[in-house]
């Protein structure tokens, strides 16, 4: 169980950039990175430097900020992308390859032996450059379990630092997440990262169950922004973990910063912070029923 020893990979500057309304300038990316670093997240994940010349420059700029958080960039499992990423000065590289039959047939057209061969080559290259490397399958929960475990076992054997499970289209439920992570925990020795989309409203619960089953890292974004319905929101994960161990969360993260970073990002992407948002929503701590109100007035800790 990793509930007492988990890390946040904050992906507003990668997954969040894929939100429909997100068009961050370079200066805005720096401000987001600094706010999240002040909040205390352990990792920042950035858009691939292969996405555009500006993305490459932004990776280089943020990598030079001297933040406490480790800076990662997310790239395709392709040697050209990996070489470009290494040159940006980031602390680690997150590589991804689609493994479901849908992606193998309709996206990249590669089979499992090819995926393993490519993954091994890229991972060994990144490690040779002295950087941490994560390998993640894409669309993990619509992938064949034998295929997944075969790939993960192969990359674990060559010393990948972390493997990722991605609920790319948000179809998994907490029971499925727990079972897959628990199975994977029995196969690999490395750390396990969970990336969960929120299409069916399970992203926070799925992330928590992943940690219960042995995952060590969870991807988040501010307000959950990202592709379609987004991913596990930073505030949502913090709220869930606060309910598990409030003192641990107070010790690890500068909670008063949460409202500031959420308001800043909300303004950039032209959305309002929801009234029922975790922790910072307008009604998050509002009681109207007499029984509840009396208890709060008598003892706010109730």
Residues marked active site are found at 292
Continuous segment of H or E residues that includes residue 45: strand 43-46
* Residues contacting 208, CB < 8 A, separation 6+: 174, 237, 240, 241, 244
Cα-to-chain-centroid distance, residue 63: 18
CB 221 within 8 A of CB 231: yes
Is the dihedral angle over the CA atoms 190, 175, 231, 12 positive or is it negative? negative
* Helix pair 53-63, 26-39: axis angle to 10 deg: 40
DSSP calls for 3-35: TTS-EEEE-TTTTGGGSTT----HHHHHHHHHH
Q: Are strands 43-46 and 7-10 parallel, antiparallel or unpaired?
A: parallel
Residue 234 to residue 242: CA distance in whole angstroms: 12
Per the listing, tokens 């409202």 go with 259
Q: Where does residue 19 rank: exposed (0-12), middle (13-18), buried (19+ CB within 10 A)?
A: buried
Tokens coding 129: 């450059």
End-to-end CA distance of the chain: 28
CB 263 within 8 A of CB 51: no
Is the dihedral angle over the CA atoms 33, 26, 76, 179 positive or is it negative? positive
């Amino acid at each position: 169980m990793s509930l007492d020893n988990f890390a946040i990979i904050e992906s507003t500057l990668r997954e969040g950039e894929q939100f429909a309304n997100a068009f961050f300038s370079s200066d805005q990316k720096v401000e987001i990175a600094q706010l999240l670093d002040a909040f205390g997240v352990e990792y920042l994940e950035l858009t691939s430097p292969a996405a555009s010349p500006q993305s490459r420059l932004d990776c280089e700029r943020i990598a030079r900020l001297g933040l406490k958080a480790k800076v990662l960039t997310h790239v395709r499992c392709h040697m050209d992308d990996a070489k470009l990423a290494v040159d940006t000065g980031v602390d680690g590289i997150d590589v991804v390859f689609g493994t479901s039959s849908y992606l193998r047939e309709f996206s990249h057209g590669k089979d499992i032996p090819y995926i393993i061969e490519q993954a091994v080559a890229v991972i060994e290259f990144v490690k040779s450059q002295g950087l941490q490397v994560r390998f993640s399958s894409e669309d993990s929960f619509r992938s064949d379990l034998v295929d997944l475990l075969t790939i993960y076992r192969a990359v674990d054997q060559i010393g990948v630092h972390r493997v990722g499970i991605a609920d790319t289209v948000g179809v998994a439920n907490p029971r499925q997440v727990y079972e897959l992570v628990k199975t994977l925990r029995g196969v690999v020795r490395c750390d396990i990262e969970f990336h969960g989309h929120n299409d069916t409203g399970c992203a926070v619960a799925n992330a928590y169950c992943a940690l219960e089953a042995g995952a060590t890292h969870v991807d988040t974004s501010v307000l959950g922004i990202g592709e379609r319905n987004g991913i596990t929101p930073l505030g949502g994960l913090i709220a869930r973990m606060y309910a598990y161990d409030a003192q641990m969360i107070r010790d690890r993260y500068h909670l008063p910063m949460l409202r500031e970073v959420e308001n800043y990002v909300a303004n950039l992407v032209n959305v309002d912070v929801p009234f029922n948002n975790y922790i910072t929503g307008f009604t998050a701590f509002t009681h109207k029923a007499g029984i509840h109100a009396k208890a709060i007035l008598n003892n706010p800790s109730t």
